[in-house]
Amino acid sequence: MKIAILGTGYVGLTTGICLSEIGHYVTCIDINEQKIKNLQVGISPIYEPGLDELLVKNALEERLFFTSSFSEGLESAEIIIIAVGTPQRNDGAADLSYLEGAAVHIGTHIQPNTVVVIKSTVPVGTNEYIKDLIQKNCPKEISFEIVSNPEFLRQGSAIKDTMKADRIVIGSENEQAREKIKEMYKPLNVPFIMTNIRSAEMIKYASNAFLASKISYINEISNLCEAVGANVEDVAKGMGKDFRIGEAFLHAGIGYGGSCFPKDVKALLYTAKLNGVNFGFLNEVIAINDHQHELLVEKALKRFGSLAGKKIALLGLSFKPETDDMREAPSIKISRALLSLGAKVSAYDPVAIENAKHILGETIEYSSSVKEAVNNADAVFIVTEWNEFKELDLKSVTESMKNPIIFDGRNCILDSKLRDCGTVEYYPIGKPS
């Protein structure tokens, strides 16, 4: 099939690469010309395991193309996939302006009988709104269909999540359009959920808000565990073995971040308010998460009394491992809180330092290794559970610190490692120190 994809962010680029990998001819379109020029020579704008190899392979096999020309990309497409961003507006709602821009271009270039797929995360009712907008921008009346097809990939495992998805949700009021999209994905051999447009749109928000709630729930349990002397890891294990609960997303820590959960929970809350539904539960999910972001600083304050003049080494900056994405990363709030309390911050991350510089500038020091970051530090904060930190040689880390104190925001240091090291003062989340 000939497919055009609008937007080469995480979702657009991964989808484009995976669809070409299963044999389709895919043209990815983006208004950012520099990004397109880089992609044309095999340079990816994001760090994502396995993506670069597939990008180069499919481009060389001439199934994957990149352009900033809408006419070139859209006019030969039988399926157009919109995967542009829907960032958060100040009032919590999703900002649809990129989507509206895409609708104008599609309206200008769309050919009869094309299926337009919205993959971007959009509030209920948006597919219908965008369909109208495309129609309004068509020079003449044209017949086309719209399909809601939300995406469930995670950054850091985007390729695997797309190629081996748990389910593919296809929402449309038109049988033929639904079947066409099912056909497109057929080689993936993944179960389909066929539904109407509004339910498909809702599945995406309901899923992300549920996962965020699961994290806030276990995080609040972890705070309770600390208060009563229980161990949240054992509690999560005991809960997760119940198949109705499940083991995933029960890792207590310093809260969720990233480009999806924070904005999607707020957008769902906004939709609820707009429709007169009191979904106050989600306010609690957000409040718990905001508090978790402050936890390491609270613990350090309790331990030191004052943080003025203390050197804190942050290990990890990205919102989670295997990505250089800094959006809504807990490290941002933690750094700012430490600075406001007079502490000095030296940070190390395997891949996110350049992106962190755009947000935190020169307010903190950036180190090129763990060794450099922890040198002479009063305490270490583990903020992101990169494998490199799980495998740390604790003896050599603590030897170069002023005080051998570690606040582990992701519970990623094994007990056996702590025992071998001996001298470390260790503060995990939700279990005895």
Select 70 or 261, whichever has its Cβ closest to ligand UGA.
261
Distances in whole angstroms, Cα of residue 21 to Cα of each of 14, 41, 54, 265, 405: 10, 18, 7, 33, 48
Interface pick for ligand UGA out of 319, 381, 386, 426 (rule CB under 6 A): 319
Interface pick for ligand UGA out of 28, 39, 260, 356 (rule CB under 6 A): 260
Question: How many of the chain's residues bind ligand UGA (CB under 6 A)?
Answer: 20
Whole-angstrom distance, CA of residue 408 vs CA of residue 402:
17
**Per annotation, catalytic residue among 18, 28, 225, 260:** 260
Stretch of 71-79, 82-90, 248-256, 279-287 lying at the interface with ligand UGA (CB under 6 A): 248-256
User: Residue 16: exposed, middle, or buried by beta-carbon count in 10 A (0-12, 13-18, 19+)?
Assistant: buried
Confirm whether residue 121 is marked as ligand binding: yes
Whole-angstrom distance, CA of residue 117 vs CA of residue 121:
12
210 binds ligand UGA (CB under 6 A): no
250 binds ligand UGA (CB under 6 A): yes
Confirm whether residue 109 is marked as ligand binding: no
Whole-angstrom distance, CA of residue 345 vs CA of residue 34:
34
For residue 7, give the nearest of 137, 175, 121 by alpha carbon. 121
Question: What DSSP assignment string belongs to 351-413?
Answer: S-HHHHHHHHGGGSEE-SSHHHHHTT-SEEEE-S--HHHHT--HHHHHHTSSS-EEEETT--S
Whole-angstrom distance, CA of residue 109 vs CA of residue 401:
61
For residue 104, give the nearest of 141, 143, 140, 130 by alpha carbon. 130
Strand partners, 312: 345, 379
Confirm whether residue 86 is marked as ligand binding: yes
Whole-angstrom distance, CA of residue 231 vs CA of residue 238:
11
Confirm whether residue 229 is marked as ligand binding: no
CB of 112 to ligand UGA, least distance (A): 32
261 binds ligand UGA (CB under 6 A): yes
Please name the residues in contact with 60: beta carbons below 8 A apart, sequence gap of 6 or more.
none
For residue 429, give the nearest of 202, 311, 191, 255 by alpha carbon. 255
208 binds ligand UGA (CB under 6 A): yes
**SS3 state at 303:** helix
Helices (H), 8-69: 10-21, 33-40, 51-60
CB of 240 to ligand UGA, least distance (A): 10
215 binds ligand UGA (CB under 6 A): yes
- Based on its alpha-carbon atoms, the radius of gyration of the chain, rounded to whole angstroms, reads 23
Whole-angstrom distance, CA of residue 264 vs CA of residue 202:
11
CB of 212 to ligand UGA, least distance (A): 7
Confirm whether residue 327 is marked as ligand binding: yes
Residues 36-95 that bind ligand UGA (CB under 6 A): none
251 binds ligand UGA (CB under 6 A): yes
Active site residue 138: no
Stretch of 55-63, 75-83, 147-155, 174-182 lying at the interface with ligand UGA (CB under 6 A): 147-155
Measured in Å, how far apart are the chain's first and last C-alpha atoms? 57
Q: Give the contact letters, 275-314, x = binds to ligand UGA (CB under 6 A), - = no.
A: ----------------------------------------
Whole-angstrom distance, CA of residue 363 vs CA of residue 222:
32
424 binds ligand UGA (CB under 6 A): no
Whole-angstrom distance, CA of residue 260 vs CA of residue 257:
8
CB of 239 to ligand UGA, least distance (A): 12
Confirm whether residue 261 is marked as ligand binding: no
Interface pick for ligand UGA out of 89, 131, 154, 357 (rule CB under 6 A): 154
Confirm whether residue 384 is marked as ligand binding: no
Q: Taking CA 339 as the corner, what is the angle to CA 333 and CA 340, rounded to the nearest 5 degrees?
A: 90
202 binds ligand UGA (CB under 6 A): no
Confirm whether residue 103 is marked as ligand binding: no
Residues 329-348 that bind ligand UGA (CB under 6 A): none
CB of 204 to ligand UGA, least distance (A): 7
152 binds ligand UGA (CB under 6 A): yes
Stretch of 93-101, 150-158, 308-316, 369-377 lying at the interface with ligand UGA (CB under 6 A): 150-158
Among left, alpha and beta (phi > 0; psi -120 to 50; other), residue 194 is beta
Binding residues for NAD(+): 30, 35, 86, 121, 263, 327
Binding residues for substrate: 204, 249-253, 257, 320
Which residues lie near ligand UGA (CB under 6 A)?
A: 121, 151-155, 208, 211, 215, 249-251, 253, 256-258, 260-261, 319-320
List residues with catalytic annotation. 260
